[in-house]
Amino acid sequence: MHKGISAAVMAVTASVVVAVPAQAAAPLFQLPFPCGQTWRGDSDGSSAHESWEIDFNRGSGSDDLGDPVVAAAAGVVRTASHQGSANGYGNLVKIEHSGGYFTYYAHLDSMAVSVGQSVAQGATIGAVGNTSRPGNDISPHLHYEVRLGSSYPSNIQPAYFNGVRFGYPDQTLTSRNCGGGVSGTASIYGATSDGRLTYTAVDAATGDRTHGAVVSGAALGFVPKAMATLNFNTLLVTSTAGRLYRVDVITNNTSLTYNAPVLLGGGWTHDLLAYDGSGSLYGIADGTLRRYTVSATKPAVGDITSDGVIDSGFTLKTLTATGPDWLLGTTSGGELLSYKIRGAGDWSRYELRSSTWQVFRHLLSAGGGVYFGHDADGGLLRYTDADPYDGSGADLRGPDTVDAQGWTQVLLSARPGTVS
């Protein structure tokens, strides 16, 4: 704790090599059963197991028949069918997750998803069953496995639930697969090098771009320097001349139009801006962090008042807000840092990562522990933090790629509080 001491048009082409910080980590997998249920996993009770597979039951086999099975993490369904005589899986659902990981859910009595469907963590994907290849008589249970890579069976990975490795060969666990994971849409505004505005929507649970980029035909009329999104149709943008403007968006559906920017004042020399969604606007100029109170959804000159200097020493390359009075930023040295701001000279700093995050030009958060990093190659990458306020990076997972390239904006900002 410190006492007294922030695309023009998408054109996604064939695969490209994108520099990303660190090796892709596994998602924060949870037990594939509804929140609060207790199940016993057994990895050595079947002669069919090759490696780290687990068979789950919570009662006698017949008692479990028809119990719901849920997704261990958010992803996209790649298989949802009976496997016939090809193997013993019977009804199999296979889900692809971030980082190249796949989870397998076998012997299902029924399947509730289809190929290509995006599923959130905790979404029901089927029911416990005893289906297998023709002539193979088995008792009801869920066969679960995690795979990474294509060389079977060495691609079968040890299972982790809530960040903890399963206690092989058997263990009884209570599901913390609660709330269905993150949900919501990240609404991302941007500015291009010629002063036009952009709008893009990204599904926070899956990382899929669902809308845009929509690009304005008109330019702002000044060179933008920093940007913060107040709400769905209100932006704050500073110019290189130190002026602060309010930009009111009219529509961002099939086209992006906005009213003429409203000048709110001068002296705004900030390099970075971030709005926390609860009335606090943060700005960094020459390493000094200041906080302002925003008292209107469409603020006029007198509706943004200074709370004064928080402190100096905030030499950040990027800045975003993850919640009320919580900031996240990166340094040119590659650190990922989280800050809890309480007042002038009263704040806490947490190092979530010590290196490799310098590749990002912008860092965005719409809430819910979902972070987006915009790199110099025009890629947008997605990360998930199971608890964005615990001061630890141990539960930070990612990246997975929203787009490998095409994000050519010189500024990006996400509307706060739209993801939970």
Average pLDDT along the chain, 420 residues, taken 10 residues at a time: 33 32 68 91 84 91 87 94 95 95 96 91 91 93 95 93 92 82 88 97 89 96 98 97 98 94 97 96 98 97 96 98 96 97 96 96 95 96 87 84 95 94
Hey, where are the domains in the chain?
A: 2-24+182-414, 38-174
Question: The sheet that has 272-275: what strands, in order across it?
Answer: 272-275, 280-285, 288-294, 304-311
Fold of 38-174: Glucose Permease (Domain IIA) (2.70.70)
Closest among 187, 123, 181, 145 to 56, alpha carbons compared: 145
Closest among 252, 255, 222 to 237, alpha carbons compared: 222
In one-letter notation, the amino acid at residue 138 is: I
In one-letter notation, the amino acid at residue 228 is: A
DSSP H/E element including 191: strand 185-191
Closest among 101, 102, 105, 103 to 93, alpha carbons compared: 105
Distance between CA 106 and CA 88 in Å, rounded? 9
CATH classification code of 2-24+182-414: 2.115.10.10
Closest among 52, 143, 150 to 101, alpha carbons compared: 150
- Residue 181's pLDDT is 63
How many CA atoms, within 13 angstroms, populate the side-chain half-sphere of residue 298?
Answer: 8
- Residue 344's pLDDT is 97
